[in-house]
Copies of this chain bind each other. A is one copy, B any other.
Amino acid sequence: MAKINKSTLEKAAKRISPFIHRTPILTSKGINDIAGCRLFFKCENFQKVGAFKYRGATNAIRQLNRDQLVKGVATHSSGNHAQALALAAKIINVPAYIVMPENAPQSKKEAVAGYGGKIIECEATLESRESTLEQVIRDTGAVFVHPYNDENIIAGQATCAMEIYEEVNNPDYILTPVGGGGLLSGTALATHYFSPPHTSVIGCEPAGADDAYRSIQAGKIIPSVHPDTIADGLLTSLGDKTFPIIKKYVSQIITCNDQQITDAMKLIWQRMKIIIEPSAAVPLAVILNNHEIFRNSRIAIILSGGNIDFDKIPFI
């Protein structure tokens, strides 16, 4: 299992705090009434680059030594990790090489380029992404920063829940979405070390990309083969560093379908007047469809991000 202890998390929080936003925790009486419980929304959609991913990317980059930094960092991603790594590298004047599939949306490419990332296009297959990344690393000497299967990334994502436990008294549950498991495993570790003893961690997953659910059932990693969900930040599968933490510290994984995700997303837009991406709506969707578990509880939810193409809003 990844060697992340209480001190690792405390150091990560201290390391990244000058560079990240301490995001607000919002509440909504209207949504509490509908859900029948008390919800505390940690707004990582207001984080730099619009997603919690900036925490992990910053924690990872800030631990590289001078020789490594000169050669830069690299990753393959078409999502929020790409933007996060690009910005975290830019503000210390380090190159970030981002391998992106040629069919990635133009808006995503522009966002990465806007944060100063150097985009290398590849074919839209995992093989091409990995081989292109390997070539980039050989050519440049850049350090690969994995989107989630990395102890520094996990520790960085854990800092979000640490902030929650400083502000929310006695939550019964903390819920996060789960894709590759970086946020969920970090949250689980933060809960183990910093929450009240009765706080349970629940991973929330789209039914169309339920590899975490199936992996926990099977007791081993079962990757997603053809994930299909509007929650486009949650298509990846658990890694060998995130899975053992989730297996040990997460109470359960609960899935929900795309219509439920859409409904929860629309409710947050309407009632809270904030913009979240579909992936961020998955925990509320789980709560609204499992009243028997959550009724009358105090629940912290991590709203993981707010990056969405406005021409792809699922309820319009």
Contacts and interface: CB of A to CB of B under 8 A. Distances in A.
Contacts of A311: 316
Interface string A246-281: 000000000000000000001001101111100000
A24 B273 CA distance: 13
Given A315-B310, A316-B310, A273 B273 contact: no
Contact of A274 (B266, B273, B315): B273
Interface in A271-316: 272-276, 306, 310-311, 313, 315-316
Contacts of A243: none
Among A24, A45, A46, A274, chain B packs the most CB atoms within 10 A around the CB of A274
A50 interface: yes
B313 A310 contact: yes
Given A24-B24, A313-B316, A316-B313, A306 B273 contact: yes
Contacts of A275: 269, 273-275
Contact of A45 (B273, B313, B315): B273
A273 B316 contact: no
Contacts of A273: 45-46, 50, 274-276, 306
Contacts of A315: 310
A261 to B, nearest CB: 16
A315 B313 CA distance: 12
Given A45-B273, A273-B306, A313-B316, 14 more contacts: A24-B24, A46-B273, A269-B275, A270-B310, A273-B274, A273-B275, A273-B276, A274-B274, A274-B275, A275-B275, A310-B313, A310-B315, A310-B316, A311-B316
